[in-house]
Amino acid sequence: MIFTLPKDLDAETLEELIVSIQDALDELEPALEHLAAYPDDKNLLNDLFRNLHTIKGNFRMCLLTPFTDYVHGIEESISEVRKGRLSFNSLLTETCLLALDKLRYHLDILQQQAACETDEMAAIGSRFLAIALADNSYAAEQLIAQLLLDLRSGAIDTSANTITVVLAPESEQDIRQQQLQFFKAT
């Protein structure tokens, strides 16, 4: 799908937005690398989350919905780290860094052409949401690993923006519960 800039978003506002986003991304990248080394740094984790939340809000205020949704997926994954449901490790760090590089790329295209293709953004954002929604840490780690491989290769499947669920049942009762949830979802 092609997204075009809203007609009422003037060039000056767009330029201010892009500068603020680029500045925020410049802060996020070293924070992510620091968190990989010190995953228990709650203050930095909270700062990282707030920074993502601010980026998302800035995109939302300028009506750049595909960018809002993209950052929302990353933000939700970081939210799960804050809740302790997901571990912050080198795989998640690299996945986030590569995703932020993709964000910069799409933002550059939007600035240069006043339009950009958003299928790849939607697919990546959905996969980050799948990570956040994973039933357990094993499932989340599998989703992170697959997204990382795809980001490294540049081969993001955009044919269907579906959320993949990886299950690692602990008991027969868990299997039945997961089958019931799957049935309800389809």
Q: What residues contact 158, with CB distance under 8 A and at least 6 apart?
A: 119, 120, 122, 123
Q: Report pLDDT digits (tens) over 126-157.
A: 999 999 999 888 999 999 999 999 999 998 88
Give 85-104 pLDDT, tens digit per residue: 998 899 999 999 999 999 99
Convert the pLDDT of each residue in 8-34 to its tens digit.
888 899 999 999 999 999 999 999 999
In CATH, what number does 2-185 get? 1.20.120.160
| 52: amino acid identity, one letter | L
Which is nearest to 46 in space by CA: 10, 15, 81? Answer: 81
- Enumerate the domain spans of the chain: 2-185
Q: H-type helices in 5-64, by residue range?
A: 11-37, 42-61
Whether 81 and 87 have beta carbons less than 8 Å apart is answered as yes
Q: Give the whole-angstrom CA distance, residue 29 versus residue 21.
A: 12
Query: What's the half-sphere exposure (Cβ side, CA atoms, 13 Å) at 147?
Result: 35
Predicted TM-score of the model (pTM): 0.83
